[in-house]
A = this chain, B = another copy of it.
């Protein structure tokens, strides 16, 4: 039968991505890939995970394998609430809902807030996965100017803020740029958000992965009454479990719960219990510093390689944490076209265009550095430097 005619408007608008097609070759082990967004698998606490699965399936196996509540495993919600209470935020467990990874958090946010055509404010550039989740509900994006110090709050004028459903922001080591929003910018943002009565979605999967010093206080801690905070266990434990959380004012959390019930009933019972088993006695306090150290070294290797091999005219930032950095080529160059060339030399990255909600800058690209061995970083960046120099 002809199925296509039955598709919804949103399904019709889904296109298979040209970039994704190019990047399919990165599965080849000969390719030096700066394209992936994966955390370093060497950092997964395998022994602890194994012990936790065993403990959970020994203590209460039937409960761990049964259906459970939509809002999540109560001890884990309590743990999250306690851990995330700081500054002006006294988070209670009723504000927390456990989700099946941050991508589901984005889907739930879209469902609860976005009607077709609604205004949504995003950074420039912003996380591609958020654009994909939100776009299912056909919003009207307004891009907020951003730079090295993150989102520029001055760009949020009364006109820009008018009727916006929310502002989506990634203050810490943003995917794709690796940028961190400065203290000054955060303070200014709080001011503007209060002035224009905005709701803010703070997406924070990388905040714990700082290299030298912790980032400034979260937006959640500064104005808990107008922040939906997204957290994840993917970057501090392991992503394969698909586990994250949302923290919001209670009336919003209740809508998330009703919406999640219709979306996937609940998040894996056993995954929630296993993660609680792993974290409950302070394991993250010893584990996260190891990830920080590893990622800091990887970042330094990448930054060294860049300063050695990049021709003049190419610019990049110095990330203070996280897994990514952002490279800007001279105006007029197109990183997507260049990718098609360098991939023949077995080097890959993600072009910047898909990270823009509007008016993409074609001369930008994202480099991920945490899974590539040091000698391959050197070799790969050298090839990129030569390719850019030729153009």
Contacts and interface: CB of A to CB of B under 8 A. Distances in A.
A63 B44 CA distance: 10
Given A11-B111, A38-B66, A61-B50, A165 B6 contact: yes
A3 B252 contact: yes
Contacts of A1: 197, 199, 225-226, 249
A7 B268 CA distance: 27
Nearest to A107: B263
B263 A133 contact: yes
A53 B57 contact: yes
Interface in A22-69: 37-39, 41-42, 44, 46, 49-50, 53-54, 57-58, 61-68
20 contacts: A1-B199, A7-B255, A14-B258, A14-B259, A37-B67, A41-B63, A41-B66, A44-B65, A50-B54, A53-B57, A66-B240, A67-B234, A67-B239, A101-B264, A129-B262, A132-B261, A133-B262, A136-B259, A241-B269, A268-B271
A210 B197 CA distance: 57
Interface stretch (A113-121, A290-298, A341-349, A358-366): A113-121
A83 interface: no
A270 interface: yes
B263 A242 contact: no
Given A1-B226, A115-B8, A61 B49 contact: yes
Nearest to A69: B27
B242 A265 contact: yes
A101 B9 contact: no
Nearest to A265: B103
A249 B264 CA distance: 23
Contact of A65 (B16, B137, B239): B239
Interface residues of A, number: 79
A contacts with B: majority SS: helix
A229 to B, nearest CB: 14
A184 interface: no
Contacts of A38: 66-67
A166 interface: yes
A100 interface: yes
A267 interface: yes
Given A9-B115, A57-B49, A197-B1, A132 B262 contact: yes
Given A100-B100, A136-B111, A225-B1, A240 B264 contact: no
A283 to B, nearest CB: 15
A67 B240 contact: yes
Contacts of A124: none
Contacts of A251: 3-4
A390 interface: no
A186 interface: no
